[in-house]
Every structure is written in structure tokens, then in C-alpha cells.
Structure 1
Amino acid sequence: MFSKILSITVVLVSLFTYWYLWTISLTKISERHTCPYCYGESYCSELHKNVFLIYNSLNAIAFNLLSVKNVYFANNGEYDVVIKKLGSKSKLAGLGEQMPIRDNTIDLKNALMNPHRDFQVCNNLTALHFLQEFNGKNRKNLWTIININAEPLLLELFNHKYFAVPRLIGYCGRAVIEQHSGNPLNSIENFDWYKRAKVAKQLLKAAEQFTFGHAKFRLYLTDISPDNIAISDDLVVTFVDLGHGILIDKSSAILVISGSHYTEPFNDDEYGFSRQEVCGSAISDHNVYAVCKLLLSVTAPWPMMRNGLLHSPPPELNAKDLFEHIEQCVYTTEKVSRFKLCAKIQQILDDIVVQVL
């Protein structure tokens, strides 16, 4: 009797699973019917023809079956991809109530300048110069992306070939497709120390690149955390969530009299920043401070990596200067240049890693 009930249960569960997987088809996920108030349609043909959801890991199963964060894991026949809706179901559903009568530069600029958005531009000139970068893009698509999540635009602006960001593959409806970049930073928490040192160097380099690397803009990330940083199998770092940030145009920044912005350290268990101070300066050390404070310091606050990424150094390692520089990067009260400290830390890490890896 028990075995019969078990068999029936297995059949019912299998049927339910099959039905559920069918109902979350990529056609339904993409919501192409919402266009032109969508992200775009550049990848629709490939999405519906060559891409399929995958269930080859607990992470993929959880995200694909439970719609965690409205993110899905798939494969396009060549490599794994991530399909992002960029917003919650309620946020996407409420977009229709915000649609403008016009689709002009004023509407787009106003959307960018909204102080309640996770991604913010520092001033009108930055907003206008940012929009000029996308003159060839459909304005309804542009308005939709700005109002939901500006991340895809930043991926276009800060190309993966030059910055530690995902490769943007394309758009379909209200879905953006990116190449899968790896597992969260916390997945290497117990890796060999020297491998973690290699990753730490990349984190600092990326902080510099977002600050200095673009010809026209500086991007300051305001939601740096292990969940928002991916590590590939060959230990390549990718910042996978750019939806929270501050953008300033370099040409407008040089007009600011106050010069460099030094990020004042907060209490041990706190992390904060001042958008007004970041935007009110030609350059800020915010990115370097955030990496040191949240990822590398032994006092990194929860839920960041416990005791920092470089915890538990091997006993044979003589790296007193390394850890002193990291803590100085966080807590210095002498306004020592964090950029100089960042360079010193990277050099020390280079010297250590090159001897081992």
C-alpha cells in the first residue's frame, strides 16, 4: 500500500514539475509583448530558438523554479548565461502607470535625476552627456531601462573588455541576457590563501578602473558585497550588479572647486557614504574605501566576508605591511591618499602571488 502511494506521489510530483517548467518558458519570462516599453529586442530570435533554462546546480534550481530576484540561469548552446528581469514583479507591473506622454530628452533626464533611484547621476551635465552616449537607442527602450534599472546601460558604457563587468549579450522584451560570470565571492572563502590574494588584487584594480578607467565618466559603486561579485573557475573577478551607483561626468567634475573627496570612515559596524560629497568633488576615493572596508578588512561588517577575504594567512607568510596598509585604507585619519595605499597593497600582493602561483 505504501509503495503504491509513493509511486502515485512521484508521478504527481513529476507532472507538477513538468507543468511548472513549461509555464516558466522563456517566452513568458521575456514579456516581449510589452515592447516598445521594454529593454529591446536585439536577442529575441536567439533567445527563443537557442537558449534553454538549466537545472544543473542547486543555485540554478532555486533561481529558476522559485524566481529568486527575478533572475534565471540558462545556456545558449555555447556557454551559460544569466537572464535578468532587473526588477521585482510589482515594480515591472507598475511601470505602465509611469509612462510619459512624450519620449523626449526632458523625460529621460528627469528619470535619470530622480533622487529616489538606486542609480543616480550627479548633475544635469552628467545626465545629458550620459544620454548622448545612447542617441541611437530607441527612446522608449531607453526610458524603460532607466526607470527599472540602469545596469544594462552601464554595461554598454563600461564594456566587459576593459572593465570587470559581465558581457552584455542582448535584450528581449523585459529581459536582459548576460554571460554567466561565476559563483559569488563568498564561494572562495576557504580557498587557498594565495588564490584569494590574487582575487583581492583584482578587486582593488577594479575599484581603480571604475574611478579612472573610462574616458568620460567615473562610476562609484554603492552596493559592493560578496553577492554582487562573481568569481569564475579561473579566478577572474566580475562585478555583476551595477544597479546601485553614482555616475559623474569628468568634464563636469573638473569644474568642481572642492577637488578630491576623502571618504570619512564610519564606526566599525557601519558603512555609509555621502552622495552629495561624492558628487561635489572632482574625484572620490569611495570605490577603494568600499573594497577595503567591506571585502578586505578584518573588521568587514556582516554579511560581508568574515574577517575579510585575506583571513587566515599561512604561518610562513610575512605580510605585516599588507594588513597594516589594508586597515589604514579603512581607518586612516590623516587623509593619506587611498589611491597610493591601493597601489602599495596591489604591489605587495603581486610580490607574494608571483612567488607562489
Structure 2
Amino acid sequence: MNVHPASDPLRAPSLGLGLMGMSELYGPADDAESVTTIQAALDHGVRLFETGDAYGMGHGELLLRDALRGRRRESALISIRFGALREPGGGWTGSDSRPVAVKNALAYSLRRLGTDYIDVYRPGRPDPEVPIEETIGALGELVKAGYIRGIGLSEVGADTLRRAHAVHPVTDVQIEYSLFSRGIEQEILLTARELGITVTAYGPLSRGLLSGHWSETRQRQLPPEDFRTALPRFQGANLTHNLALVEALRRAATTYGVTVAQLAIAWVAAQGPDVIPLVGARTRRQLAEALGATAIDLDPGALTAAEQAVPLGAAAGERYMAPLLSLLDSERPDNSGDRAPVPLHNPSHTA
């Protein structure tokens, strides 16, 4: 077994591709188009690819394996979430982040991916039954053994992030961050920067709401298996309000000659080089639009215009339904709340 260095596995990317929607939760997807989209991302310089072992019960990992076949392993930074428990009918039954479960999950992921190491390995959510120190301790052993290069976390609060980092350096924290979801700015982002931890920002388009392509007609056409049908921001008056915000953002985007999605993604990227937008493009067309955001150099006026179109805390509805929101460590009162933003990235910080 080759021991791979654990430092800075996420140093280079300016944009990452999340594969969750290629496996489930957003309705049917085409496997051939998914693989081709991943390969197109690689060809255009995207290096970071994220999925979870529970998405499609390993389906996302198999897609990534197929897309990487015949390419250098070093061309991709693979980020995997583990710990979510499923049942044969597809239901979600909880989390398991015990050290023995961590090692078991990793063994299966390595086999499905066809690789001997994973760049960033993270519990998808903190397991309330297992102290974070125990989970991180097990992950640290896997770093030492060379099976993973870096340890990640997802949707954790500042206190949990500090406790984990005290056991073993944490590479990055994955959390939702967009013009609609800025709760991270209250404390979590400050803590990550203090500790030198990269943020991978999933949901920069708020699951499509900020894409500029959503409408109430499209909402009514969602298949029942698309979990957005249950999300508060996609419901009734909330949806109408949020789409009005998108139209304001569209006017700002038009002024700068970009699309709504590109302005929304570029705004997230502009928060600092330690913030990596993780887009959920499922097709080459969606990918091409997202990649256009990487070529945008937003001046202060564009940033101000985006924030005036979508003011802090303006989105209607929570980002998850109440039962799921209550499970998020990041949503404890001392970690969340769209109130005062933190300063932009300190240039002295290295991701």
C-alpha cells in the first residue's frame, strides 16, 4: 500500500462537480449522459468530484469509476460521503459513524470506485450516537494507512469542527452556501478560516431555484420521487416569492452580460479562494453554463448588485423540511441564522 500525503488535497479546484443528482433525489437521470458529463468536466479542468456511498446504494461511485476508466487517477480529486443507512425499499434509516463502520464503508467504496485511495472521506452527517472524536480518530488511522488523503466533514457547527480538528487536521467542511443560504457566515465560515479548513459549498444554485431556469410550471412537472417537491422553498407562496428574487437577480446578471446561474455561482466563488462551489450539473448543457462562471471576474459592483437583488435572509422557507433540519449540527442556534455577513476572504489564508 502506497501512503499518500494527507496535506492540502483540495488545493487546486475553483469548481467541483457533485454527483448526487445523477443517482437519485432529483428524478430520473441518464447514466450515459452522466458519465459523459463527468468526462467533459475532467476535459475542462474540473478536478473535484463528490458523491456519497448511499446515493443510489453506490450508484454514484460506479458512475465515477466508469468516467475515470482509462484516465490517470491523479486527474481527479474524489470526495466521498459515508455513514447514511438505507433499507432495501430505498428508505433512509439513520447514520452509523462508529470506527468499525467507517472502515467497513471505506472498504466497499474503494472496491466500487476501483481505486486504492480516496482524496477526502467524510461522514455525511454527524452520528448523534458516536462522539465526533471517535469517528475522526478512525479516519486519522485511515489517513496514516494511506487509504484516504484527507478528512472532511459535512453540515457541522463550529464547535464540532473545532473538536474534530483537535483530533486530526480536517481538510474541508462541506455545507450549503448560496445567495439563498448564508447561515454559514455567522460562525462556521469564520471558524473554518481560523483553522485553515477549506469550504466546499454545495447548493450554490439552491437546488435549481437560482439557476434562472426554474418556474412554477416546471415545479408542477416534478416527478414524485424528486425530493424538491417536499422542500419548503419550493412550496406555494414561498416559491412565488423566491422566483421573484430570481427575476431581480436576472436583471443584475443581464447588466453584466452573464446568466443568472453564472452570477449566482460566481458570487459564491468570490467569497474567497477557500470556498469551492460544488455544482450539481447532471448534463453537459448544465455543466457548460456552470463552467462559464469560472471565467467571470466579478467587480465589487457586480457583487453588490447580486446582494441587492437577493438581500441577506430574503429567501422564503427553510432549506430543508423541519425533521431533516433538526438533524443538522450546523443549524444549532449558535451556528446559523442569516444575519450579519463576515468579511470576505483574508488573502493570507491558504486553502
**Common topology (TM > 0.5):** no
Q: TM-score range by the shorter chain?
A: under 0.3
Provide the TM-score with structure 1 as the length reference: 0.25
Rg (Cα) greater in structure: 1
Higher relative contact order (CA 8 A, sep 6+): 2
Provide the TM-score with structure 2 as the length reference: 0.25
